Structure formats: structure tokens, C-alpha cells
Amino acid sequence: MDEYIDRQAVKKALRDYFDDPVAWEDVGGLVAQICDEIIDDIPAVDICARPKGEWIEDMTDMFGFVRCSECGRLEEYPQFFCPHCGADLREDKDNAAP
């Protein structure tokens, strides 16, 4: 599973690693500039919170479908995620996506 971090938190952690702020800015700030550029050049990932829902049995006709509790979309069978809205519909709450 991928892990996501905050760029500013990484930069702060690097600066905090050096007890003496002058050491961080030593050599005309070159170390700080290089670290900041490397961190800024790492590609960002667009992440969004995935809604958590459940499949609801829909017996309005003789075939029986399941309905997504988040968007109301009908599907023939339950899946881990709603193909329409992307909601996490897994029953096991311990293994749910963040």
C-alpha cells in the first residue's frame, strides 16, 4: 500500500535534524536549497477520501439487486467498491481503505 507524507513536514523534519539552524543554512543555504528542490520535485499524488458505505439488498423485483448506500446505484451483485461513485463497500471494516 502506498504511503503519503506532507512535503512541509519532511522539510521541517530535515531542518529539525540539524540542532543548529546555522548548520542547515551553511554553505550559503545550498544544503537547504538542494533538499527543498528534491522534495518539491517528487511527484504529488491526488488522493481523496473514499466514502464508506454498504450494499443494501433491493428486492423491488423478482431478480433482487443490491443498492449502493452512498449513491443509490443498483448493481447485479455486491462488489468491493461501487463502480459508479467509488464508495468502499467492503464488509470487513478492519481492511477498509483509508
Within-domain flag for 71 = yes
Within-domain flag for 64 = yes
List residues bridging with 88 in a β-sheet. Answer: 52, 81
Within-domain flag for 29 = yes
One domain for residues 98 and 54: yes
Domain region containing 35: 7-41
- pLDDT, position 1: 52
Closest-CA residue to 51 (of 79, 85, 80, 78): 85
One domain for residues 29 and 66: no
One domain for residues 35 and 54: no
Within-domain flag for 91 = yes
Structural domain count of the chain = 2
Whether the Cβ atoms of residue 70 and residue 53 lie closer than 8 Å to each other? yes
List pLDDT tens digits, range 21-69: 666 566 556 777 788 888 888 887 767 777 889 999 987 777 779 999 9
Q: Residue 51 in 3-state DSSP?
A: coil
One domain for residues 69 and 90: yes
CA 31 from centre of chain:
30
pTM metric for this prediction: 0.45
Within-domain flag for 2 = no
List pLDDT tens digits, range 70-83: 999 999 889 999 99
Residue 76 identity (one-letter amino acid): E
Residue 57 identity (one-letter amino acid): E
Within-domain flag for 1 = no
One domain for residues 25 and 64: no
Within-domain flag for 79 = yes
